[in-house]
Amino acid sequence: MYFWIGSGKHSTTIKNHRYLAKKEYTDKELIKGCCKGNLRFQELLYRRFYAFAMSVCIRYTTSRDDALEILNDGFMKVFDNISKYDQERPFKSWFRKILVNTALDRFRAGKRFRISTDIEEVEVAGEPELNRWMEAEEILLLLSGLPELYRVIFNLHEVEGYSHEEIAGMLDIAPGTSRSHLSRARMMLRRSYMEKLNKPYNEAI
């Protein structure tokens, strides 16, 4: 049995050894094995953090296949740069940043979003606070209905915690554009949620 990671010329396969389940390794042991280029430990690390990685990647795509490509490319970057990882810091935080940057690289390379320049400095007041009317799981279910750039900005700001200035640098847009797109994303999510509940939507709320 084999599992696949990476895409295109960076893809590879790793054999599933029968002895994988003989010992439960700690995260640090797996990372040390990966630092040595051990395929057995790479597979174990992949399996251990697959669900976590997919939960990050799926928020930046509209399909599971696209999310899987980002996930696999992210794992390849981890394996290529694992020696640079500071083992005194949480692995998930380091890995999460790699996954987010990989998702952003994919968007930039494919030019999959358009930036509206006529609203770059628009400030939108009265934004609804999402946590007042929607649970986190419900937000994730509705994210796929947002335009790609709105979804990316929403995730970077609301989930990852980046400031509008940081997002502007990541996406080569003005901070005002990030703010206005986030506001519109929130409004669209609220509208979709109200429609789901068959309730009237009032933008002034």
Using one digit for the tens of pLDDT, what is the confidence trace for 17-33?
A: 444 445 689 999 999 99
Predicted pLDDT of residue 111 = 55
Same domain, 65 and 138: no
Same domain, 90 and 26: yes
Q: Return the closest-CA partner of residue 143 out of 44, 58, 82.
A: 58
Q: What is the CATH number of the domain that holds 39?
A: 1.10.1740.10
Each residue's pLDDT tens digit, 162-180: 999 999 999 989 999 999 9
Average pLDDT over residues 115-136: 42
Same domain, 16 and 93: yes
Quick check: 82 and 34 in contact, CB under 8 A? yes
The number of domains in the chain is 2
Same domain, 23 and 96: yes
Last residue of a domain, one of 110, 141, 161: 110
Each residue's pLDDT tens digit, 39-95: 999 999 999 999 999 999 988 987 889 999 999 999 999 999 999 999 999 999 999
Which residue range is the domain that position 182 belongs to?
Answer: 130-196
Q: Is residue 103 part of a domain?
A: yes
Residue 11 DSSP SS3: coil
Quick check: 59 and 151 in contact, CB under 8 A? yes
The CA distance from 185 to 191, in Å, is 10
